[in-house]
Amino acid sequence: MIKVMIVDDSAVVRQVMQEVLKSAPDIQVIATASDPIFGLAQMQRQWPDVLVLDVEMPRMDGITFLRQIMQQRPTPTVICSSLTEKGAQITMEALEAGAVSVITKPTLGVGAFLRDQNDELIGAIRAAAAANPRRINLKLNAPKLSADAILAAPTGGGAMARTTERIVAIGVSTGGTQALEYVLPALPRTAPGLAIVQHMPEHFTRSFAQRLDGLCKIEVKEAVNGDRLLPGRALIAPGGKHMLVKRSGAQYLVEVIDGPLVSRHRPSVDVLFRSVAKSAGPNALGIIMTGMGDDGARGMKEMHDSGARTLAQDEASCVVYGMPKEAVRHGGVDDSIGLDRIPGAIAAYGNGIFA
């Protein structure tokens, strides 16, 4: 049984979340609180397995509270934040402080919205319960489509020639914001172009990319349709859109498109990896990192079979060893390595050295 505590200054949000979570047989709401001060007092009596936390509250804001909790007793935390530009920026700070995922809510009609998004809320709590926040200082009922919904699988006809232009494709989910904040700032300006899918809601990826851009030697930006993959540049798929890699002559471009959820996600790692298998083949390095579920496992196998080099983050350094584990199980991973080795592997690959 996953013991959950909800801290939100809205009585409506607290009530609706409790109603929604009653439908999950493995989740128990043990307490609710209108602000962090009340919340901390209740947590001293019974500590939750997962904390669901608003960010803008009276007496103490959610980020200050989260930082205090992560110092005292690291606890998997799901942030419940508003769908606004300001909300996105604040949520980036919460993710930096150690939150493992984000549930978005509108400024109006919150009750109805949360009822509609009950599978996403339940999935986020289950993912958080499987997370290990100490390692870094889902539409559950929807039809689970494969990447076939976006583009056809590689045919396997003919080997693609190797070129000097190399690219890197990364897929990551729960715990990924912290992991990427470790990997990308460690890369040199000469690093190969990177295409990244981080499972994150719409409106949040731009703030995330801007934050990373300020930390890195390389350029980091939210991808726009037609952007080129260039050395020293990382493109992050926009939340709510799929991102594919296309080849145009000797250049690699990204295509940003709408489409159905694939592997229950949009953007989907499977879609990105399949497009890289088709467009780059042996001229690409695929890396799958911390995350819950199996998005990317099939796409990584397709990259591997197309001649790409493939790596998975190892269990010891993952917040959630779900996506990498499934990729290994599908037989698409050349090697599993620790988070601390990933920046060096990317830089080496860009220099023509297999990681």
CA 91/CA 54 separation, integer angstroms: 10
Give 52's strand partners.
Answer: 6, 78
Q: For the chain, list the strands marked E by DSSP.
A: 2-7, 27-33, 50-54, 77-82, 101-105, 167-172, 193-198, 219-222, 233-236, 242-248, 251-257, 284-288, 309-313, 335-337
Spell out the residues 6+ positions from residue 136 whose beta carbon is closer than 8 angstroms to its own. Answer: 98, 175, 178, 179, 182, 319, 339
Tell me the two tokens of residue 105.
Answer: 């809510």
Q: How many CA atoms lie within 13 A of 192 on its CB side?
A: 27
Residue 350: CB atoms within 10 Å: 21
CA 129/CA 215 separation, integer angstroms: 29
**Catalytic residue chosen out of the listed positions 242, 295, 317, 336:** 295
**Catalytic residue chosen out of the listed positions 34, 54, 199, 306:** 199
Residue-level length of the chain: 355
- 199 in catalytic set: yes
- 295 in catalytic set: yes
- 207 in catalytic set: no
Nearest to 187 by CA among 2, 13, 348: 348
**Catalytic residue chosen out of the listed positions 34, 101, 173, 317:** 173
Catalytic residues: 173, 199, 295
